[in-house]
Amino acid sequence: MELVFATNNLNKLEEIRHLLGDKIKIVSLEDINCTEEIPETGFTLEENALQKSEYVNKKFNINCFADDTGLEIDALNGEPGVYSARYGGESKDANLNMEKVLEKMKRTSNRKARFRTVISLIIDGKESQFEGVVEGRISETKSGSKGFGYDPIFIPDGYGTSFAELDINEKNKISHRALAIKKLAAFLMDIK
C-alpha cells in the first residue's frame, strides 16, 4: 500500500518512515509535486489534520494522511496547542518557540504538559482519525540535540531526560506521534 503523508516537515517524514518500516510505502508531498503551502486554519488539532488530508486527497485524488501536533501546557491554559509551530512567530523557528515557552513558565512551579498528535487518514474518500498523547513536563532549560521542535524542553513522564536526549528508537516507543502511528498502522493492516 502507498500513502501520501501530507507534510513538508522532513523530520516528521523520516520519523514516520522509521516507525512504519517497509509495511507501507510513505510518499512525500514533494514526490507528488505538491509544492504549495497547505492550509492550516482550524482551531483544533483535529480540524487542522482533517483540513490538510482533505486538501491533498481532493487536489491529487490520492489516499493520504496528515497530522497536527501540539504541545499543551497546563500552566498556560493549554498553550501553545494548535499554534505550537508558530508560537514564537510566523517564522516557525523552534528556538523562538521554546524561548517563549520558557519565558512564560519562569514564575510557575506547575510544569505539567503533554504532546498530542492527531492523524487524519483518508482512504477511498472515508476519513478516520487517530490520536497519540504523551504526558510529561517542561524543563527549565533546553537540553539535547536530537529530535526537533519542542523536544529539548519536554521531559516525558518516567524519564529524567528530554525527548531531544533520547535516541530515535527509544523516543519512538513512547512519543505521541509513535502512539498515533501505531493506531494508524493497526487500522491499515486490518483493511489490507
CATH number at residue 133: 3.90.950.10
The pLDDT, as a whole number, for residue 73 is 98
The pLDDT, as a whole number, for residue 176 is 93
**Contact between residue 168 and residue 15 where contact means Cβ atoms under 8 Å apart:** yes
**Contact between residue 64 and residue 138 where contact means Cβ atoms under 8 Å apart:** no
Query: Digits of tens for pLDDT over the chain (192 positions)?
Result: 789 999 888 877 887 787 777 778 899 999 999 988 898 899 999 999 999 999 999 999 999 999 999 999 999 999 999 999 999 998 889 999 999 999 999 999 999 999 999 999 999 999 999 999 999 999 999 999 887 899 999 999 999 999 999 988 888 889 998 899 889 988 987 775
The pLDDT, as a whole number, for residue 60 is 94
**Contact between residue 6 and residue 38 where contact means Cβ atoms under 8 Å apart:** yes
Full-model pTM: 0.89
Q: Is the dihedral of CA 187, 170, 158, 44 positive or negative?
A: negative
Tally of domains within the chain: 1
Indicate which residues carry an active-site annotation. Answer: 68
Q: Can you spell out the DSSP letters for 82-126?
A: GGGGGTT-TT--HHHHHHHHHHHTTT-S--EEEEEEEEEEEETTE
Q: Which domain holds residue 151?
A: 2-191
**Contact between residue 68 and residue 49 where contact means Cβ atoms under 8 Å apart:** yes
Start-to-end C-alpha separation, the chain:
8
The pLDDT, as a whole number, for residue 188 is 83
The pLDDT, as a whole number, for residue 192 is 58
